[in-house]
Structure 1
Amino acid sequence: MTDIDPLLDPTGRIQPVRQAIVGGRSLWDDARARLFRNKAAVISMWILGVIVIVAVFGPMVWMNDYKEISDLRTIAPTLEGGHILGTDIQGRDLFARLMIGLRISLMVGVVATAVSLVIGVTWGATAGYLGGRIDNFMMRIVDVLYALPFIFFVILLLTVFERNIVLIFAAIGAIEWLTMARIVRGQTLAIKGKEFIEAARASGVSRRAIILRHILPNVIGPVAVYVTLTIPVVILAESFLSFLGLGVNEPLTSLGVLISEGAKTMGEKPWMLLAPAITMAVTLLCLNFIGDGLRDALDPKER
């Protein structure tokens, strides 16, 4: 019995050879797969997505306006008139104000974090790569700003300028970038001596191109994790300022303002405090779970 060539069928005709093309998976594909396997992070992303949709589109379609004042003051939650969370001391619908307050808090968190991301990443990568006296000078500036109390810095800005929401962005973003700069500097110091950096330097690539093309893409993992953990910190900072009366101006509101107002009537009308407090707690928990999921997904030890 003769052996049949695997390329030939029983009739002796040559069959085409089909080669399986195996596509490689990038590190980002692996990280995304690990992130989606994290049930807490996935559920948090869905819940956060619903919260963002409600904050963005809710005030546009809700039957009551957050600025509208009525004679129905501090009423309990009721379906009559659509006041499902009741009204505040001026008769304004609390659910409408909760949605607009959630929008303001999320906007402050995202914008201030974006400001800290741009400044912190640029500052930290430049200081870490250049090193020497430039690194020492730049990081001493960071140390000096760290020594300045946050609340004192905000009060100073409010004294010089008028209180507005843009000022809150500037005040919080001007402080939160300091930690970002230190994280990026540490990561830059760890990779600037690697072979691919030396090869790029030997090839005549400019410092600016090395930082943009080689340094920053390799620090994006820790930065992405820190960004998701910075947004809750910024929201809490804005809420703290609003609780002290240094936040947004009326008729705008935020979660911190609503919590401050609800705390004054906590004993008699607890719903005025519970609604914004629970909303803030759920939002912060979702952001922290997503941050933990990203940290585990981007951890090289988990690969």
Structure 2
Amino acid sequence: MVDTLDMTGRKEPVEQALAGGRSLWDDARRRLFNNKAAVFSMWVLGILIFLAVFGPMLWVHDYSKISADTELAPTMQDWHWLGTDEQGRDLVARNLLGLRISMAVGLVATIVSLIIGVTWGAIAGYVGGRVDNLMMRFVDVLYAMPFIFFVILLLTVFGRNIILIFAAIGAVEWLTMSRIVRGQTLAIKGKEFIEAARAAGVPGSAIIRRHILPNVVGPVAVYVTLTIPVVIMAESFLSFLGLGVNEPLTSLGVLISNGAKEMQDKPWLLMAPAVLMAVTLLCLNFIGDGLRDALDPKER
């Protein structure tokens, strides 16, 4: 390995000497891909996403097809690897569909919370004063409302459908996101480059878009990876209570709820969706931990 001399005369590797010339994002990406747990989780999560997207279409059985083989035990015959439910529907297909629905709820609700929370927090933090106080008191009022009460109210007024579940969960999860972005914005808006942009006559909306948001993307990216598991768990909780998706659709929460009723005699009904959910949540949490370490400026 070729070495160089630093200012004190001490030898150091060329890679280390050139590290100062890398951008923050290059350095963060290098640290992220050096995290074996995060990289392994990315591969596993990629496989799960592939199964969720294409599995229900490629599997030999349809998730909604009712057959005469009701409550069939797991068998290799006719590709019923996890058996069938009480209506004769193949449980492998049902679990693949449940994985798809749970991931879709997690992704869409997180995107909703990301858009609302980042916009709300950035505006509140940048404008400040009475506007900030009014906006954050509104967030506090919503925080005081029980989540399950809010969702039941929406389901009662507008009816039960999967789109409403996306909206209901996303409409609650943006609150923490807004607080995180507001705190980051308050720390940034007094910096010299923000003052220079103001002095140059750049509009406030452009300052938020060009200078504030790019500088809060690190904490936001970390929180997004931690929000998706929370949303998936929230949807599973609602489905466990019978407030989730409607038949013939299903989710991991619905499958876990159904499996819990017969776990004594048929433990595979509970184990299959529970393992899928546990692996998905673990992967997302490991990736979130890896992003947090990679984007930490103290580690650079």
Normalising TM by the smaller chain, what interval?
Answer: over 0.9
Residue 132 of structure 2, aligned match among 131, 135, 138: 135
Which amino acid is 1:292 matched to?
D
Do residues 79 (structure 1) and 37 (structure 2) align? Answer: no
RMSD: 1.2
C-alpha distance in 2, partners of 1:49/1:84?
A: 23
Residues 79-123 of structure 1 deviation map (CA, whole Å, 9 limit, x = unaligned): 111110111111110000000010000000000000000000000
Superposed counterparts of 1:1-303, under 5 Å: 24-303=21-300
Residues 241-262 of structure 1 deviation map (CA, whole Å, 9 limit, x = unaligned): 0000000000000000000000
C-alpha distance in 1, partners of 2:77/2:19?
A: 62
Question: Deviation at 1:22?
Answer: 11
Which amino acid is 2:210 matched to?
R
C-alpha distance in 1, partners of 2:19/2:166?
A: 48
Which amino acid is 2:89 matched to?
R
Structure 1 length normalisation: TM-score? Answer: 0.92
Structure 2 length normalisation: TM-score? Answer: 0.93
Which amino acid is 2:111 matched to?
A
Q: Which runs of 5+ in 2 are unaligned?
A: 1-17
What SS does structure 2 have at the residue aligned with 1:146? Answer: helix
Question: Deviation at 1:23?
Answer: 10
Which amino acid is 2:245 matched to?
V
C-alpha distance in 1, partners of 2:200/2:174?
A: 33
Identity over the aligned pairs, expressed in percent? Answer: 78
Larger Rg: 1
Runs of 4+ in 1 over 6 A off after TM superposition: none
Which amino acid is 1:225 matched to?
V
Question: Deviation at 1:230?
Answer: 0.1
C-alpha distance in 1, partners of 2:255/2:20?
A: 53
C-alpha distance in 2, partners of 1:186/1:158?
A: 33
Q: Which runs of 5+ in 1 are unaligned?
A: 1-20
Which amino acid is 2:266 matched to?
K
